[in-house]
Structure 1
């Protein structure tokens, strides 16, 4: 068996007091039978573990016994940053290390601080993925974690939105970003530093090449700059629209926040029925048509003419499909 797991069992007993075999099994991802065997091995090793039978019973250490074996492995030290983020930690392949690191931290704390840490953990939970979307599968993410930390280049096959759809790249990973449940890799090629959606990586193999990250590179600052540039490139036009009171109230649930802010900044009343007119940014005619149709009868496109025609054509097709043209 793993000596690391035995240590984790010991630290779990030290931090929790009395625990059942089922709790040990759940915490460490083993069977209940394995948990029983681990307890027996601790006893055989001279650790004063004893069992309390009956309802509410379990295993616990003799009063006053504490271990000083709280040294952390490299993987557990890496996992500390994700100690409160079980979902992302699992994505990164650090779930086991996070559990072990948390136990070691708790074991090193005085009793009153352990109780406070436990209370805090009970009332906060992070669920990163957005609503109405399955979490993305990212089988290559642990490889990128290692590449970022060891500064090793990675050869990837990547699927992008323009032709050719699949391309081969050698990437020098600078960092990973989690945004709304989606992982992105910031990496350099021979020509530039770019952002790659990890789920679009079709294949990845670590190379023998080592690299140095540019001195002073700031991942958070780079990401903020990337988002600003993305928004500037994303919206290339504008449209004038009219919204009913109900449409105005539905904006936040149906269109991006940039459009909501644009309406707030430019809206003006039209008529006496509560409708407003505003100018919003648009990517292109097709995309804008799809976004605005979510609002149904509560929006009317005033300009530009090509977007108004696209809306009318789409509505006409829908009407014919339902036999109401």
Structure 2
């Protein structure tokens, strides 16, 4: 544990320059006293590390001194190579840079860890795109990424789902998110999320912006997803399901089944499930065939009955089986 922490101190100082004991302690989640002891251990090991007192002080490595990444554990090396997303990097125009960086890391690894990194790349592959849709064309992704990195304002013409379909927008791009093969840009000053593939035209506004110091892209995206699902599942339906139907539920509906599902005494399971709009719910429950029966609300049950009657009429089938 201590050896891993010493390597972390070296890498932090190597990548960020001067850091105080308090800053190192916060990063490593240890006490300042522990940092002092670790720095002494690094001194004893001959690392050219020095510290300055005072308000602007801190610890710093001697200019030009670099450490090789021999302190990586097997698990850390595996996680490092598993975390790479080559498809996303290529879309951002960074594919060759990612490859070069991996080669440099591999060269710095001891032989036994090089074997593990090669094994990871040969056995795990991440394909972020879905099965049933072609990858979106995102012609302005590189420009948006450049604006995110350089804090440049963009003026775009954007296609949305409601009237007016095409709108002009001024974006302060705080960050990019890749979700299920689709790129989103989070724009300030009041964070709003846009699909990058829906940008029709784009121009650099020749203007810089400053993102808030406390803006956390990961935290924002987590809240955004929660709010999205809360808005999406705005209603509920009381249903009963066969075992096969219950096994087909996923996501929030599966969670709701686990939370409130109960046997109905006839071999079925009763549950109140979250649903989207009535139109979507009709199509969703029809997919379950005879493995689900909607009991309420009455309006949803009636709409399903209307669809079933129309289907029976379309195919010339009676709604009830003839008596034997």
Q: Paired residues, what number?
A: 240
What is residue 258 of structure 2 aligned with on the other side?
Answer: 264
What is residue 297 of structure 1 aligned with on the other side?
Answer: 290
What is residue 104 of structure 1 aligned with on the other side?
Answer: 104
Task: Describe the superposition over 1:43-83 as per-residue Cα deviations: whole angstroms up to 9, x where unpaired.
Answer: xxxxxxxxxxxxxxxxxxxxxxxxxxx9xxxxxxxxx9997
In the aligned structure 2, how far is the partner of 1:109 from the partner of 1:180?
32
What is residue 231 of structure 2 aligned with on the other side?
Answer: 233
Please tell me the root mean square deviation across aligned C-alpha atoms, in Å.
Answer: 2.2
Is the CA contact (8 Å cut-off) linking 2:152 and 2:207 kept in structure 1?
A: yes
What is residue 209 of structure 2 aligned with on the other side?
Answer: 211
For the structure 1 residues 102 and 299, does the alpha-carbon distance in structure 2 shift closer, same or farther, using more than 3 Å as the test? same
In the aligned structure 1, how far is the partner of 2:247 from the partner of 2:113?
46
Is the CA contact (8 Å cut-off) linking 1:140 and 1:198 kept in structure 2?
A: yes
What is residue 223 of structure 1 aligned with on the other side?
Answer: 221
Is the CA contact (8 Å cut-off) linking 1:241 and 1:278 kept in structure 2?
A: yes
Q: Does 1:320 align with 2:320?
A: no
Q: How does 1:124-203 map to 2 (within 5 A)?
A: 124-188=124-188, 192-203=190-201
Unaligned runs of 5+ in 2: 1-67, 69-79, 319-324
Is the CA contact (8 Å cut-off) linking 1:83 and 1:102 kept in structure 2?
A: no
Q: Quick check: 240-249 or 83-92, which moved more?
A: 83-92
User: What TM-score, normalized by structure 2, do the two folds share?
Assistant: 0.69
Is the CA contact (8 Å cut-off) linking 2:82 and 2:121 kept in structure 1?
A: no
Is the CA contact (8 Å cut-off) linking 1:141 and 1:198 kept in structure 2?
A: yes
User: What TM-score, normalized by structure 1, do the two folds share?
Assistant: 0.69
Q: Secondary structure at the match of 2:162?
A: coil
Q: Secondary structure at the match of 1:251?
A: coil
How far off is 1:213 after superposition?
Answer: 0.6
How far off is 1:247 after superposition?
Answer: 1.0
Unaligned runs of 5+ in 1: 1-69, 71-79
